[in-house]
Structure formats: C-alpha cells, structure tokens
Structure 1
Amino acid sequence: MEEPVVIGKDKFKISDDETARRELRIVKVSDNVIQVQEEVHGIIALVGASSSVNIKKEELKNLIKVAREEFGWTDICE
C-alpha cells in the first residue's frame, strides 16, 4: 500500500477539558480500490462490528481530486 494522503483535519470539543483531533486520509490499495481512513484521537469509544466515516463536502472534493490526479482515476466525475 502507498502512503496515505491527508484530505481533512479538524478538532472538536468533547467535554469542558478534552478536545478530540480528527484526520481523514485516503490510501490507494490497488488500481481499482481506495481506502478511506478516519483517525480520531481523544475519545474513548466502544468498537463494534461496523464502522463509518464522516466526510465533509470539501473533503469529498479533495478525495476526488487525489483519486484523479495522484491515483490516475481519470474516469470518475468531479
């Protein structure tokens, strides 16, 4: 796998004395597969059998741009 490309970063307050950091990255797994990774620090969470990624509109635009320009996926819409 290639090195991840960061397409979004932010911080959000989860209590009066704790702030969480979030980073959204994408990695090219193969010619036809990319992986979206969301890493959150500062939250104690229970891990279940499924997961989800929250993506902002600007991050989606960045994801499409990286997929086209860095991963060569020129046949996807913008």
Structure 2
Amino acid sequence: MEEPVVIGKDKFRISEDETARRELRVLKVHDDVIQIQEEVHGIIALVGASSSVNIKREELKNLIKVAKEEFGWTDICE
C-alpha cells in the first residue's frame, strides 16, 4: 500500500493546559477511491460510532492537487 500524502497540519487548544495536534492525509486505496485520514493527538478520549473529517479550504485545494498530480485524476475540476 502507498504512503499517505499529508495535505494539512495544525494545532489547536483543547483547554488551558492541553493543545492537540492534527494531521490530514490522503491515501489512494484503488484507482477510483481515495481515503481521507484525520489524525488528532492530545485528546484524552474520543467516543462514538460515527466518523467525520474537518477540512479547511487550503487543505481541499491540496487534496485536489494531490488527486490530480499524484493519483492521475485529471478529470476533476478545482
């Protein structure tokens, strides 16, 4: 399996004492399937059955660029 491509990184304050790190990555799973991975470090516990990814405007631009240049998806627009 290929290595994920990092399309965004940032830090945000959880409390006065704790800051979390976030990294957003994209991975090509199949010729027509990509996976967005959001990794957050610093939160004590996450509980739930659903999952979502927050994506910033610049990260979306980076995602489109990676999909075109790294994965050969030339038929998508910006």
Q: Same fold (TM over 0.5)?
A: yes
TM-score (norm 2): 0.95
Task: Report which stretch shifted further, 6-15 or 46-55.
Answer: 46-55
1:21 matches 2:21: yes
Aligned sequence identity (%): 88
Name stretches of at least 5 consecutive residues in structure 2 with no aligned partner.
none
Which residue is 1:41 aligned to? 41
Provide the alpha-carbon RMSD of the alignment: 0.8
SS of the equivalent of 1:39 reads strand
Would you say how many aligned residue pairs link Structure 1 and Structure 2? 78
Any residues of structure 2 matched to 1:1-78 within 5 Å, and which?
1-78=1-78
Name stretches of at least 5 consecutive residues in structure 1 with no aligned partner.
none
Q: Quick one: which amino acid aligns to residue 37 of structure 1?
A: Q
SS of the equivalent of 1:8 reads strand
Q: Take 2:47 and 2:6, find their aligned partners in 1: how far apart are those partners?
A: 23
TM-score (norm 1): 0.95
